[in-house]
């Protein structure tokens, strides 16, 4: 039943948005009773954080391919797949907008989503520094912004399609910027 509830939650979140999301609507969509929901989560905030954290926690750690280029390309490919997926492509911008109005949600999402994702990126960048592929004085905060910004802007904000070689070209440009 938990899997059905999880699927129903993400479908409802994508459809209604966080502001209009209700646990009752999730229960109905899942074909479950409200009690099944409230036994697990006491509020939509609890449900949102638990289920999103579970998705993030089940994202595999990036493999060490041996080169920063291949590692970054894999990192960007994973992000692009998430941003192109029908559910996250609606959920992510909605949650970001809602977090601007809801400081508690904002802090929880930073801890549940941003921080683990940044940790994975830091791991990739640190390995590259250790291998001598990136400078030892790399500004990690700026590097994180460069890794996240262009792809998110293109796919989630501008909704612009990408050419088949877009991620390859983006990786090369990011590497040039990071190495400078």
pLDDT per residue over 15-42, tens digit each?
999 999 999 999 999 999 999 899 999 9
115-130 and 44-57 are packed helices; what angle lies between their axes, rounded to 10 degrees? 20
Average pLDDT for residues 54-82, to the nearest whole number?
88
Residue 136 three-state SS: coil
> Which residues are within 8 A (CB) of 127 and not within 5 positions of it... i.e. 6 or more apart?
64, 68, 71
Domain range 59-179, CATH class = mainly alpha
At 103-147, the pLDDT tens digits run 999 998 898 888 988 999 999 999 999 999 999 999 999 999 999
- Tell me the CATH number of domain 2-43, given options 3.40.50.1000, 1.10.3720.10, 1.10.10.60, 1.20.200.10: 1.10.10.60
Q: Which of 25, 94, 69 is nearest to 5 (CA)?
A: 25
pLDDT at position 1: 62
pTM (2 d.p.): 0.84
């Amino acid at each position: 039943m938990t899997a059905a509830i999880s699927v129903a939650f993400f479908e409802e979140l994508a459809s209604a948005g966080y502001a209009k999301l209700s646990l009752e609507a999730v229960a109905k969509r899942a074909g479950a009773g409200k009690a099944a929901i409230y036994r697990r989560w006491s509020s939509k905030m609890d449900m949102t954080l638990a289920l999103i954290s579970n998705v993030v926690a089940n994202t595999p750690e990036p493999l060490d391919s041996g080169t920063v280029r291949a590692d970054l390309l894999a990192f960007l490919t994973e992000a692009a797949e998430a941003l192109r997926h029908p559910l996250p492509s609606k959920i992510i911008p909605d949650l970001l907008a809602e977090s601007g109005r809801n400081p508690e949600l904002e802090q929880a999402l930073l801890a549940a989503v941003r921080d683990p994702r940044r940790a994975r990126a830091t791991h990739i960048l640190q390995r590259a520094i250790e291998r001598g592929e990136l400078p030892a004085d790399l500004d990690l905060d700026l590097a994180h912004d460069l890794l996240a910004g262009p792809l998110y802007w293109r796919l989630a904000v501008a909704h612009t399609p990408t050419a088949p070689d877009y991620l390859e070209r983006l990786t090369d440009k990011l590497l040039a910027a990071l190495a400078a």
